[in-house]
Amino acid sequence: MIRSALMNVMTAAALKAGRGLKRDFGEVENLVVSLKGPGDFVTAADKKAEAVLFEELSKSRPGYGFLMEEAGIVEGADKANRWIIDPLDGTTNFLHGLPLFAISIALERDGALIAGLVYNPATDDMYVAERGQGAWHNNRRLRVAPRRDFSESLVGCGIPHLGRAEEHPRFKTELAAVMAHALNVRRLGAASLDLAFIAAGRLDAFWERGLKAWDVAAGIVLVREAGGYVSEIEGGDAMLASGSICAGNEATLQRLMMLLRG
Ligand code: IPD
Ligand code: CA
Ligand code: CA
């Protein structure tokens, strides 16, 4: 486990916000079967979790800036440090009572990602990484899967939802290309967890387009610190800005990129 002061601050904030989310998730499980559904309730849970993270991190590290999904950018007096936060990644899962969602917190220092945390409060799974200190799942050190044979690789992806129908044709082409060569494909519904699962060697590769910085910032640190590789599908490293991302070990990532480029 990483016992740095920074990681203590991050885990304390995530555990506190996570307690609220877990309680609210219990309530959602009752609401999913009601006619009105849990939509508004989930929006409130999401905002509440973000407010807790903002408050806790501001208290422990005064002056740091923020980039958050709900509240957006909050400039800090300290221009070098910025938290990148998704208080609830996997909203659709949460809304449907599926226990696959997470709090995602990353710290960017002087433009570089130096720490990442992905926490699923439903299962109490904590994934953390800090530059030079490795990636960890609870108390276990993480390593990406060593598998090199793509035909044995389990590949995660993101599927553009109904509101992004214009992206469906390209996704179908990409899926067809990957299906023809990989063992199988998974769509789990929380990009931060997809990347944590790459770090943990559960998935061998992953790709998605159209993501936001808060979906991937923490996961990128996890993958890198677990010995894996992350890049844009097109090959650059502006994943936070472009939202295009693929990850894996050296071999699976190269193969996946080749397949996606057609
Ligand atoms: C979403 C999840 C999902 C991805 C979407 C994201 P949200 O985040 O990460 O896996 O496919 O593109 O928007 O909305 O649940 O925070
Ligand atoms: Ca998200
Ligand atoms: Ca979110």
Question: Could you tell me the two tokens for 222?
Answer: 């996890």
Question: How many contiguous H segments (helices) and E segments (strands) does the chain have?
Answer: 8, 13
Residue 87 CB–ligand 1 contact under 6 Å:
no
CA-wise closest residue to 256 among 169, 164, 154 = 154
- Could you tell me the pLDDT band of residue 102, with boundaries at 50, 70 and 90? very high
Q: Does domain 150-260 have CATH number 3.40.50.410?
A: no
CA-wise closest residue to 248 among 227, 229, 224, 261 = 229
Residue with the nearest Cα to atom 16 of ligand 1? 89
Measured from the Cβ of residue 237, the count of other Cβ atoms closer than 10 Å reads 11
Closest ligand (CA of 210): 1
Residue with the nearest Cα to atom 11 of ligand 1? 158
Residue 89 CB–ligand 1 contact under 6 Å:
yes
User: In this predicted structure, what is the pLDDT of residue 30?
Assistant: 80
Residue 18 CB–ligand 1 contact under 6 Å:
no
Match 């995602």 to its residue by tokens: 104
Measured from the Cβ of residue 223, the count of other Cβ atoms closer than 10 Å reads 30
Helix segments in 81-229, DSSP class H: 91-95, 168-179, 191-199, 213-225
Match 């999913």 to its residue by tokens: 32
121-142 tens-digit pLDDT = 999 999 999 999 999 999 999 9
Please name the fold of domain 5-141. Answer: Fructose-1,6-Bisphosphatase; Chain A, domain 1 (3.30.540)
Which ligand 1 atom sits closest to the C-alpha of 187?
Answer: 10
Instruction: Say how far apart CA 220 and CA 83 lie, in whole Å.
Output: 14
Q: Is 120 helix (H, G, I), strand (E, B) or coil?
A: strand
229-231/245-248 β-pairing:
antiparallel
142-169 tens-digit pLDDT = 999 999 999 999 999 999 999 999 999 9
Average pLDDT, the chain: 96
Q: Where are the domains of the chain?
A: 5-141, 150-260
At residue 3, what is the residue type? R
What spacing in Å lies between the alpha carbon of 149 and ligand 3's midpoint?
Answer: 34
User: In this predicted structure, what is the pLDDT of residue 1?
Assistant: 85
Residue with the nearest Cα to atom 14 of ligand 1? 91
Whether the CB-CB separation of 222 and 135 falls below 8 Å is answered with yes
Instruction: Say how far apart CA 36 and CA 33 lie, in whole Å.
Output: 9
User: In this predicted structure, what is the pLDDT of residue 134?
Assistant: 98
Q: Is 26 helix (H, G, I), strand (E, B) or coil?
A: helix
43-97 tens-digit pLDDT = 889 999 999 999 999 999 999 999 999 999 999 999 999 999 999 999 999 998 9
150-260 and 5-141 share a CATH fold: no
What spacing in Å lies between the alpha carbon of 258 and ligand 3's midpoint?
Answer: 30
Longest CA–CA separation in the chain, Å? 51
